[in-house]
Chains A and B, each alone.
Chain A
Amino acid sequence: MVELEGIKKVYSLGKVQVEALKGVSLKIDKGEYVAIVGPSGSGKSTLMNIIGLLDRPTAGSYKLNGVEVSTLSDDQLAYLRNRQIGFVFQSFNLLHRLNALANVELPMLYAKIPSRERRERALKALEIVGLSDRIYHKPNELSGGQQQRVAIARAIVMNPSFLLADEPTGNLDTASSIEIMKIFHQLNEAGTTIIMVTHEQDIANHAKRIVRLRDGLIVEDSLVSNRITY
């Protein structure tokens, strides 16, 4: 469970202070599928990075599964990122020198999982995203949609409580985007909590709930009535 209370984030650019989040309170339960929408610069990515423990808020309280994370050390955050959170980025963020399989194995390396189990689980995750026939391909030998599927496999391989995706279809064509949305749908059906940032209404409509940001504040929080499912 994600519980945000009065989250603020201020960026200092020399003398200028940019308040990217101005006090966000948000609660997301297990099994939810939330789309965070809003215009560019409204603070969506900032919020996602905080939820994903990649960044720390300037003020406010954040409880992840009941644990207040603002007091945790860098290494404790790394541990939680490894076990509780899977992150999918707009630009995929795969390691170029590694093939698909090795990329998916990466989080398990840091979880000290033995190599045989690593391989088995990575193969399983790649099967879920439909890439069993591309496991030895390097990122530059894969299409954008395929790279994003590798990234999803990497994000789910540790069975995290939360799958976070920041504009996961932002760099993809429509067909690939639909593929990704189908995978998200399946994962959510199977119990994974998904939080996804997007500025496309079509994509947002795959979620069960939409949170709208504007200028660092939540301006709307509603359930999706005409949800797209598969």
Chain B
Amino acid sequence: MYIWEAFKVAIESILSNKLRTFLTMLGIIIGIASVITIVSLGAGGQKAILGEFEKIGVNVFSIKMRNDVDIREGDRLTLRDVEMIRKRLPSVKYAAPVAEKMGLAKTEKYTKRALFIGTDFDYGNISSLKVIHGRFLNEKDILLGRNVILIDKDSAIELFGYEDCVGKSIKIGTYYYFDTAKIIGVIDSGNLKSLGGSIADQIPIIAAIPITYAQKIFPDINISQIYVMTYDQSQLEEASSQAVRLIESLHHNKDKYKTENLISFLEEFNRILGIFTTVIGAIAGISLLVGGIGIMNIMLVSVTERTKEIGIRKAVGARRKDIMIQFLIESVTISLIGGAIGILLGYLLANIVGPFIDIKPIISINAILIAFFFSTAVGIFFGIYPAQKAAKLDPIVALRYE
């Protein structure tokens, strides 16, 4: 009951000093806005990476050529390497080569650019991509280098006008040479496009073909990486180094290969996020401190201005605690309003900055709770001293104040 009355007094006092109160709030607004921005961008980034986990899995790593060393012809990854990784390493469940090639795909009506991914049957297991019509590549396709192809759903609709184009033929190749391939499956677009990496977004057609077929029609194609999936996540590091050693022994070379996995990617992201969080956290901390001092200052002014009022309230029976609560509620109200404005501003900032760094920000309930917690804490912490000063006023001294 009393709290509500005190809140009304606080609102009235704030409304009668709008500009002054707003200026006081600036520190809180900037502080909270920074917190919201970093927390929501961080959450968005983490979610994006965790989304990758769902597509590829946490127990997957890839082997690539290092790009900071000389590569000779004999160093390149081969199908034999894939075969050996499957056979020799007991912790490996699946392994699949990936060779990418930009080219064209033609139907009677259309010619479109396409990203061809030459791979094998294990790729379907590792990437957990969804075949929505037909089937994925099988062992025989690879063995015989069959002219079969899977294309993504969006492209199927673009080229044929409908999703299920299994059994249709399509011409694929580069500008001067084309071969006719039979469509054996349609893949969910979202999945495959994300595997194609960032270039995939600009490519209308994403197509999976047997690696052996790819080598036939694109003689210069190279295996850019080998995806490997272990039985368990705990085997990831061990298997990575074993695989590298195995390939090195097969090629009689050293230090030409590297491995990557999403865990290390997430760790890297978290490390960078940590740096940003520290920097922005410091900015937020300083802003909140400055904002808090501003609140303390304005509350001290308010206590002085309202000394007579305090005297009157005490004369009719207000206890120390009542006066204390009244002024604390006022300082908390100021900082909470500042916090609310800060949340809105932070939300805006996150959505402006997000697209530039390829992160879709997530404003979580948690972030909002944290913001309100900090606002309240600042309001209480910096409001206590002025409130105490008001509460301790001697009634007769306060009443005489003009």
Q: Measuring CB to CB, which residues of chain A are less than 8 angstroms from any residue of chain B?
A: 49, 52, 54-55, 74-75, 78-79, 81-83, 87, 89, 93-95, 97, 106-107, 109-112, 114-115, 154, 158
Contact = CB atoms under 8 A, between A and B. Distances in A.
Contacts of B319: 74-75, 78-79, 110
The 4 residue pairs across chains A and B that have the minimum distance between CB atoms: A82-B317, A107-B316, A110-B317, A78-B319
A97 B316 contact: no
Nearest to A82: B317
Contacts of B309: 95
B312 interface: yes
Contacts of A154: 316
B87 interface: no
* Most interface-central of B9, B16, B311, B317 (chain A CB within 10 A): B317
B320 A74 contact: yes
A176 to B, nearest CB: 21
17 contacts: A52-B315, A54-B395, A54-B396, A55-B396, A74-B319, A74-B320, A78-B314, A81-B317, A87-B315, A93-B315, A95-B313, A97-B9, A97-B16, A106-B313, A107-B317, A110-B319, A158-B317
Nearest to A52: B315
Given A93-B312, A112-B2, A115-B1, A83 B396 contact: no
Interface residues of B, number: 23
B316 A110 contact: yes
Contact of A78 (B2, B311, B318): B318
B5 interface: yes
A49 B397 CA distance: 11
B314 to A, nearest CB: 6
B317 A112 contact: no
A154 B315 CA distance: 11
B139 interface: no
Nearest to B12: A97
Nearest to B13: A97
Nearest to A81: B317
B315 A112 contact: no
A109 B5 contact: yes
A81 B12 contact: no
A23 to B, nearest CB: 21
A112 B316 CA distance: 13
B321 interface: yes
A83 B5 CA distance: 20
B341 to A, nearest CB: 25
Interface in B308-332: 308-309, 311-322
B318 A110 contact: yes
B396 A81 contact: no
Contacts of A158: 317
Given A54-B399, A115-B1, A75 B321 contact: yes
Interface in B274-317: 308-309, 311-317
Contacts of A107: 316-317
B255 to A, nearest CB: 79
Contacts of B317: 78-79, 81-83, 107, 110-111, 158
B316 to A, nearest CB: 4
Contacts of B308: 93
Contacts of B1: 112, 114-115
Contacts of A87: 315-316
